[in-house]
Amino acid sequence: MKSFLISIIFFFSSLSYAQNSYNFFFELTAESKENIEIEKSNKTYRSTSSEFSDFINSNEILQIEKAYPNAVLERLQRIYKLKLRDSTFVENFKNKKEIKMISAVDYPDLRNSYPNDYFDEDGNSNTALDLIKAPQAWQITKGDSTIVVGIVDRGYDKNHEDLKGKIVKEIELGNKSKSDHGTTVAGSLAAITNNGKGFSSIGYHTKMAMTTGIYSLEKGLDSISKIPGIKIVNASWGFCGSTKSQRLKRLDSIIEKVRERDVLVVAAAGNGIKMRCTLDEEEKVHGYHFPASYDMDNVISVTSVGNKFPYGHYTEITKKAGWRDCHEHHPFSGYNIPDNCHTHNDKVDIAAPGIKVNILKKNNEYSSGHWGTSQSAPMVAGTAALMLSVNPDLTAKQLKEILLNTADDIYHLPCNEKFKGLIGKGRLNAYRAVLTAKCMKESDGKLDLIIRDAVDDFGVEPYEGNNYDWQSPDIWIRNKNDGKVYDYEETIKFSRKEEKYIYVRITNNSCKTSTGEEEINLFWGKSQEDLAKTEKSKNQTHKEKRLLLGEQITTEKIPVLQPGEEVVLEIPWKTPNPRKYRKTENPNSFHLLVKINSDQDKIKENKNWDLVDKVVSDNNLAWKKIEISRK
Ligand SMILES: [Ca+2]
Ligand SMILES: [Ca+2]
Ligand SMILES: [Ca+2]
């Protein structure tokens, strides 16, 4: 009874301690590492630099220690773990010249590897560009300023600070229009990126040409597709088809000429009922909208998906739970009809974010809550421009085929089940499309499968981002087997009877298709040190005080993966019981490690390396800290 009481007291005291501390990692600069060695003496911290000693002790520090004491890699030796009583003191560390970077454990600092206009004022990333994997695509190419995408529209703000110099040619047709629609479309396609203003755009360095004025838009399509060098035209407009319509007949003959010129037309599918095209009420299918709905090799019809909310997030506006990949109702698309969405029908080819997206508006203004397939189409057109920058020989037909064949299937999401076959091949995956385009032109013939250490790990070895805790976004754990829908972890509630589910995402980051013989090893360890021992002694478990501190969970085959393709593996796991670890420092904390084994993509070995050295040095290894609660 007595020992039971003591452990209860210990539990509560450690809990209150945890509530009053804030954890950070900081990295000393390479120069200052020579002069600063931090160690504890009595209750204060000492550094070889007395000025630095005074500084650290003035910040109510609870603890400083080397984050990876056994690491061999020089950079890892400069990283310290810091525990502060008051989080506001972190500002002092940010300003210190000896400190290269400081970041909180759960707040990844991505500013070094992303464009400087990728984040809003609150530090939130551009979720639409996250979703289409734009940052990964930009690792392959940021586009080419000699590639010009045509836009057929009415009017735009040529002096907008985030567009200036981007529109290299303008064709005026008819009288001037007051429309601002072209500003929004051009911004979504290729707003100036990494200029510290406004937003980033998928097209990055891509340039544009635009037709403006009050005129027939189909005439604009004809004019712009004649410009030598233009191989992609964006049409964020359209009209309903009727075989009797003179206007459609005119467009029929123009689109035929555009095809002969080998120009790709990326067209908005339409904004649902508001477009007033005939709707099949029974089937809930929208009527055809042109040019989007032409069944041609050089025309792509683009509808929308959301980009913003995690699945199950209820929004007051739609009175529904939505998700970033859902083609879903929104209240603006027309006339309060509950099931109305942006246009979906059997002519739609692909979907891209078009709900709650960022746009440019005239007079240097911006908006972050915009909707419309007018914004979805330019994301596809901008991706096509990146593809041309790595493979200028691609035809319109090839561009379309690659974009469709590399799209991510989103029909398995419950919110999209009712749209089966009506929102195209899936959601745009810019990374996979651009990589595939590049691989058609050149390949080094080497396989490279990856699992990421952090969101800003693009497979480059070693990983040198600022996410010091290596919180892999490619490993997550769920209480139920729903992890292919919800790709983030939750706190696991221990159960004696039920298995929990680990999810592991593997991506083929090379031009070589994998064989299907590659596999993963999955380990768990109580602490990072336990994990290191478990990994080293292969399949053997080791015991201390009759406690299991880690073991291999499973070995699993990786299916054949095409360039840029990913797979999510689902692994059931009977978790350890955290109650058995109640006398350890962090009873609920456990670690998972994934190792990719492949004859063609071998893990780098160095006998001096600790596990942490190996994890950052090789993209075949990643780990994740997880929590298992007692009930
Ligand atoms: Ca910008
Ligand atoms: Ca690899
Ligand atoms: Ca790694």
Whether residue 463 is found in the same domain as residue 575: yes
Give the C-alpha separation, 151 to 227, whole Å. Answer: 12
What sign does the dihedral 311-503-376-248 (CA atoms) show? Answer: negative
Which numbered ligand comes closest to the C-alpha of 601? Answer: 2
Residues 100 and 231 in one domain: no
Which ligand has the nearest atom to the CA of 509?
A: 2
Q: Is pLDDT of 171 > 70? A: yes
Q: What are the pLDDT digits (tens) for 138-152?
A: 999 999 999 999 999
- Residue 123 confidence class, pLDDT cut points 50, 70, 90: confident
The pLDDT of residue 621 is above 60: yes
**119: DSSP letter:** B
Is 542 exposed, middle or buried, given 0-12, 13-18 or 19+ CB atoms closer than 10 A? middle
Ion ligand 2: residue ranges with CB closer than 5 A? 448, 601, 619-620
Residue 36 lies in a domain: yes
**Whether residue 108 has pLDDT greater than 70:** no
DSSP assignment of 168-190, as one string?
EEEEE-SB-----HHHHHHHHHH
Whole-number pLDDT of residue 250? 95
pTM above 0.95, yes or no: no
The region of weakest confidence among 37-46, 433-442, 552-561, 602-611 is 37-46
- As a whole number of angstroms, the distance between CA 19 and CA 567 comes to 38
Tell me, what's the pLDDT at 409? 96
7 membership: H or E segment, kind and range? helix 2-19
Centre of ligand 2 to C-alpha 101, Å, is 27
Q: What is the pLDDT of residue 332?
A: 55
Q: Are residues 383 and 485 in the same domain?
A: no
Dist. CA 602 → ligand 3 center (Å): 13
Section 543-567 average pLDDT: 92
* CATH code, domain with 48: 3.30.70
What is the CA(461)–ligand 3 centre distance, in A?
8
- Cα-Cα-Cα-Cα torsion 525, 528, 529, 531, nearest 10 degrees, comes to 30
Q: Considering the domain boundaries, does residue 490 fall inside one?
A: yes
Across 5-22, average pLDDT: 43
Looking at all shown ligands, the one closest to residue 474's CA atom is 3
Q: What is the pLDDT of residue 14?
A: 33
The better pLDDT of the pair 544, 250 is held by 250
Output DSSP code: residue 220.
H
Ligand 2 centroid, distance to 32 Cα (angstroms): 33
Residue 325 lies in a domain: no
CA 230 to centroid of ligand 1, rounded, Å: 24
Q: What are phi and psi of 313, to 5 degrees?
A: -75, 120
C-alpha 462 to ligand 2 mean position (Å): 11
- Does residue 358 sit in the same domain as residue 396? yes
Interval 546-553 mean pLDDT: 91
Q: Is the pLDDT of residue 323 over 50?
A: yes
Distance 196 CA to ligand 1 centre (A): 6
Residues 530, 549: Cα–Cα separation, whole Å? 6
Question: In angstroms, what is the span from residue 44 Cα to ligand 3's centroid?
Answer: 35
Q: Do 269 and 347 sit in the same domain of this protein? A: yes
Residues with CB in 5 Å of ion ligand 1: 117, 162, 191-192, 195, 197-198
Residue 321: the pLDDT is 57
Say if residue 570's pLDDT is above 50.
yes
Ligand 1 mean position, distance from CA 102 (Å): 26
Alpha-carbon dihedral of residues 581, 482, 514, 531, nearest 10 degrees? -10
**Which ligand is nearest the CA of 514, by number?**
2
Q: Is the dihedral of CA 127, 380, 382, 157 positive or negative?
A: negative
Last residue of a domain, one of 104, 137, 154: 104
Number of domains in the chain: 3
Residue 11 has pLDDT above 50, yes or no: no
Give the mean pLDDT of 460-476.
89
Tell me: pLDDT of 184 over 80.
yes
Q: Which range is least confidently modeled, 24-28, 307-311, 324-328, 550-554?
A: 307-311
From the CA of 454, the nearest ligand is 3
Ligand lying nearest the CA atom of residue 162: 1
- Residue 331 domain-assigned? no
How far is Cα 511 from Cα 514, in angstroms, rounded to an integer?
9
Among candidate residues 61, 70, 72, the one with its CA nearest the CA of residue 26: 61
Residue where a domain stops, chosen among 388, 413, 441: 441
How many angstroms is it from 258 CA to the middle of ligand 2? 43
Please, are residues 266 and 370 in contact by the beta-carbon 8 Å criterion? no
Is 283 in the same domain as 140?
A: yes
- From the CA of 520, which ligand is nearest? 2
Least confident of 153-162, 193-202, 301-310, 503-512: 301-310
CATH number at residue 367: 3.40.50.200
330 located within any domain: no
- What is the pLDDT, as a whole number, of residue 311? 57
Q: Are strands 350-353 and 299-305 parallel, antiparallel or unpaired?
A: parallel
Q: Is the same domain home to 88 and 208?
A: no
DSSP letter (8 states) at residue 123: S
The reply to whether 226 and 143 lie within a common domain is yes
Give the structural domain span for 248. 127-310+343-441
Q: Which of 49, 71, 104 is the last residue of a domain?
A: 104
Closest ligand (CA of 450): 2
Q: Are 61 and 84 in contact, with CB atoms under 8 Å apart?
A: yes
Burial of 180: CB neighbours in 10 Å, binned 0-12, 13-18, 19+: buried
Contact 330/384 with Cβ under 8 angstroms?
Answer: no
Ligand nearest to the CA of 621: 3
Ligand 2 centroid, distance to 603 Cα (angstroms) = 7
Same domain, yes or no: 589 and 524: yes
Distance of alpha carbon 153 from alpha carbon 113, whole angstroms: 34
Residue 546: inside a domain: yes
Tens of pLDDT, residue by residue over 477-528, are 999 999 998 888 888 999 999 999 999 999 999 999 999 999 999 999 999 8
| DSSP states along 224-273 | HHTSTT--EEEE---EE--TT-HHHHHHHHHHHHHHHTT-EEEEE---GG
Pair (86, 140) in one structural domain: no
530 C-alpha to ligand 3 centroid (Å)? 18
228: number of Cβ within 10 Å: 6
Instruction: Answer yes or no: is 120 within a domain.
Output: no
More confident residue, 304 or 282: 304
Distance 102 CA to ligand 2 centre (A): 28
Q: Indicate the pLDDT class of residue 18, thresholds 50, 70 and 90.
A: very low
With vertex at residue 430, the alpha carbon angle to CA 115 and CA 269, rounded to the nearest 5 degrees, is 115
> Could you tell me if 188 and 224 lie in one domain?
yes
Report the separation in Å between the CA atom of 618 and the middle of ligand 2, taken as the mean of its atom positions.
Answer: 7
Residue 191 CA to ligand 1 center (angstroms) comes to 6
pLDDT at 1: 36
Strands 621-629 and 167-172: unpaired
Average pLDDT over residues 220-225: 97
Residue 472 CA to ligand 3 center (angstroms) comes to 9
Burial label, 145 (beta-carbon count in 10 A; 0-12, 13-18, 19+):
middle
Residue 457 has pLDDT above 90, yes or no: yes
Q: What is the pLDDT of residue 228?
A: 96
Is pLDDT of 594 > 90?
yes
pLDDT of 467: 80
pLDDT at 40: 76
For residues 433 and 514, state if they share a domain: no
**pLDDT computed for residue 7 by the predictor:** 35
Ligand 2 centroid–CA 460 distance in Å is 9
Contact 479, 490 (CB under 8 A): yes
Whole-angstrom Cα distance, residue 46 to residue 60? 14
Ligand 2 center–CA 619 separation, angstroms: 5
Looking at the CA of 364, name the nearest ligand: 1
Q: Is residue 569 part of a domain?
A: yes
Q: Which helix (H) or strand (E) holds 375?
A: helix 373-390
> pLDDT value at position 335?
45
Distance (Å, whole) CA 83 – CA 575: 29
d(CA 457, ligand 3 centre) in Å = 8
Burial class (CB in 10 A: 0-12, 13-18, 19+), 16: exposed
CA of 129 to the centre of ligand 1 (A): 13
We report the CATH number of the domain holding residue 497 as: 2.60.40.10
Confidence of residue 275 (pLDDT cuts 50, 70, 90): low
**Percent of the chain residues past pLDDT 70, beyond the cut:** 88
